[in-house]
Structure 1
Amino acid sequence: MMNFLFKRVLVLGCLLISIFGFSQDLKLDQYRWTTINTSGEVTGRHENAFVEYKGQLYLLGGRGINPVNVFDPETNSWTTKSKSPMEIHHFQAVVYGDAIFLVGAMTGKYPKETPLENIWMYYPETNRWVKGPEIPADRRRGGAGAVVYNDKIYLVGGIDYGHTSGTNNYFDSYDLKTGEWNVLTKSPHIRDHFPAIVVDNKLYCVGGRNTSVHYPDNFGAFFNATIPYVDVYDFAKNEWRTLENELPVPTAAGSLVQADNKLIYIGGEGRQAQAYNQAQCLDLATGEWLQLAPLNTGRHGTGAVIYKGNVFIAAGSPVKGGGALTSIEVFAPAAEGH
């Protein structure tokens, strides 16, 4: 937060998620969060991505122009790599081949951030940033959920114009082999600031908000406009549906991982001044939600990664709006620690 059958799925985006499978007798109620004592330098940030590539955990992007920080979960140490070519934030990175892809991202300052015109790739083994294909002008947005499935990046939801307007329910695919971009059937609910994930040939959209919500005397009303619905796209049937049971504590910009036949949605921001520390678990077999042990530090605007059966979460903001944590926590069996 065993058998370590390797899978690769995406996470968010806030954000990509790579998974080593849990054992069938998983007892998540016995897991607890521990803040890890680390060595090396790490740059605090939020609205970033956190992904696994070949056993190393990569912290990319976030507000400001930040270096890539790499966490080694075997030594609990951070190393610093090259800076991003520009400010890149509000995205869910995905891994494909030997690159980390950044799509559905924004750049610039609050509240009029602009969506990136191109896909960007970071190559961990050569520490290189590469400008990729142009995104169709009418499909550019940030704060979207992104996943990889069958050699395609699927992008869902997002917002067109920073924190001002344009929250949508777009659904698109980008073929990583042919370079073809396709517009697909819209999802049931508009949302931005959320993660997506693929489990058993189904794409799940969890959390998020409608950042287009503003009032004349309250521009930040969008913080309260969280989305409780879980929308699911079935790739085999090519159709959307919405689960009956809603997210119990709806937040935006949470993190999402898979543990066997369960989803764990972590943290986020919403009505309260502090970031949320809840870890909410959806049993995909029953459709029921339960609450797991809370984070030591509530956070939003980052990703989570599963490595060797434990969940790692790093960076993010501890308060509603901007903040820059440097800490990293691990969700592991209470007796194990880290």
Structure 2
Amino acid sequence: MRRTVFAVSLALLLPTAAPAFAHPGHGEQPDSPVVTAPAVYGNGWKALAPIGSGPRQEHSVAALGGKVYVIGGIYRADGVTTTTNRVEVYDTRHNTWAEVAPLPVAMNHPNVASVGGRIYVLGGLSGGASWQALGDSFVYEPRSDRWTRLPSMPSELRRGSAAIGVRGTKIYLAGGMRTLTPGPGGLHDTVATVSSYDVVTGRWSVLPSLPEARDHVGGAVVGSVFYVLGGRDKGQVNVRDTVYALDLRNGRWTERAPMPTARGGIATAVIGTKIYTFGGEGNPAPDSHSIFDDTEAYDVARNRWQRLAPMAVPRHGTAAVAVGNKIYIPGGGTAAGAQPVDVNDAFRP
């Protein structure tokens, strides 16, 4: 098994990757330094060892055995944004990083979930000047450090940046996008599609569509309900505060208490009956670089929201996962578009 351990941030390594393109990601910011306020840790936030290989954004995460897997995404080097197939693992007990077998296909915005001790990747986005939906799907076995190809997603269900939730042997996907063309006026092909994949039978099913299309959206299953939180519709400034809930027993959508802050590009994680939401993109406030620092928790039992301590390093295009009573948030972007960072921190409610 190939495994390299990192305790500190290293110079950016160049992995096997999808074709690169020389514009700044989502097209809102040039490749220039972004001045941000110093990180303020405390109030439940803790700084951790930064991502071993360097900055990463528009990736996904999964937790297995006390470790956080960071899968795919984008990095920038010499003004060029590149989609990566790199997979790195953060050990929450030792505060170290390791590199494991890469994805067979480079992806950003991959749809990722862990089920039964394995990690599933069900499509995502990739490409050069325009990111397109991929149907490529894989399962990762940590004991053998090996990815196995699964049958591709049906063509009508392919998208990246979907809300994800797991119940039993099924992975649920809601919304997402089929095309993301960076640059002013670029196409953001947001969808309302909802589907599920059974990891035992290998079968895809189509569920009732979202009431409205969403991408860069939060998702979680709590009990028998699939929650889809915030997100955006056809562009990062078109952010939403909606919370939709799909009862998986009867297939009916209802609307719940809205988010205090409308946001897209958020990260979500679940502890108990609460869904925690972090950061996001589309902030119109001056000097915000379009980024939110908000941390808000939704109590599904009470249908209520609670504001919590803001992120020490505000960012979007990241992902979150709970391990025990802490939520881990590696990487993300600190300005609109592609401004990836190697920040890795944890929040304890």
TM-score bracket relative to the smaller structure: 0.7 to 0.9
Q: 1:142 to 1:109 in 2, by over 3 A?
A: same
Q: Which amino acid aligns with 1:242?
A: E
Q: Which amino acid aligns with 2:269?
A: V
User: Is 2:81 the partner of 1:58?
Assistant: no
The alpha-carbon deviation at position 97 of structure 1 amounts to 2.6
Query: Structure 2: where are the runs of 5+ without partners?
Result: 1-41, 75-82, 182-186
The 3-state SS of whatever aligns with 1:42 is coil
Question: Equivalent of 2:86, from 57, 67, 71?
Answer: 67
CA distance, structure 1, for counterparts of residue 212 and residue 123 of structure 2: 18
Q: Which amino acid aligns with 2:154?
A: P
1:201 corresponds to: 224
Question: Equivalent of 1:279, from 290, 295, 318?
Answer: 295
2:124 corresponds to: 105
The alpha-carbon deviation at position 155 of structure 1 amounts to 1.4
CA distance, structure 2, for counterparts of residue 98 and residue 135 of structure 1: 22
Number of equivalences? 291
CA distance, structure 1, for counterparts of residue 310 and residue 200 of structure 2: 41
1:137 corresponds to: 155
Asked whether the 8 Å contact 1:45–1:316 carries over to 2, the reply is: yes
Question: Equivalent of 1:46, from 43, 57, 76?
Answer: 57
CA distance, structure 1, for counterparts of residue 50 and residue 165 of structure 2: 31
Identity %: 28
Question: Equivalent of 2:193, from 170, 189, 211?
Answer: 170
Question: Equivalent of 1:182, from 200, 205, 211?
Answer: 205
The 3-state SS of whatever aligns with 1:138 is helix
CA distance, structure 1, for counterparts of residue 175 and residue 106 of structure 2: 21
CA distance, structure 2, for counterparts of residue 65 and residue 165 of structure 1: 21
1:25 corresponds to: none
Asked whether the 8 Å contact 1:274–1:298 carries over to 2, the reply is: no
Asked whether the 8 Å contact 2:207–2:251 carries over to 1, the reply is: no
Q: Which amino acid aligns with 1:203?
A: F
Asked whether the 8 Å contact 2:50–2:344 carries over to 1, the reply is: no
The alpha-carbon deviation at position 41 of structure 1 amounts to 2.5
Question: Equivalent of 1:116, from 119, 134, 138?
Answer: 134
Q: Which amino acid aligns with 1:295?
A: M
CA distance, structure 1, for counterparts of residue 61 and residue 277 of structure 2: 15
Q: Which amino acid aligns with 2:45?
A: W
CA RMSD of aligned residues (A): 1.9
Larger RCO (CA under 8 A, 6+ residues apart): 1
The alpha-carbon deviation at position 66 of structure 1 amounts to 4.2
Q: Which amino acid aligns with 1:96?
A: V
Question: Equivalent of 1:254, from 262, 266, 276?
Answer: 266
1:312 corresponds to: 328
Give the 4+ runs in structure 1 shifted more than 6 A.
none
TM-score (normalised: structure 2): 0.78
The 3-state SS of whatever aligns with 1:326 is coil
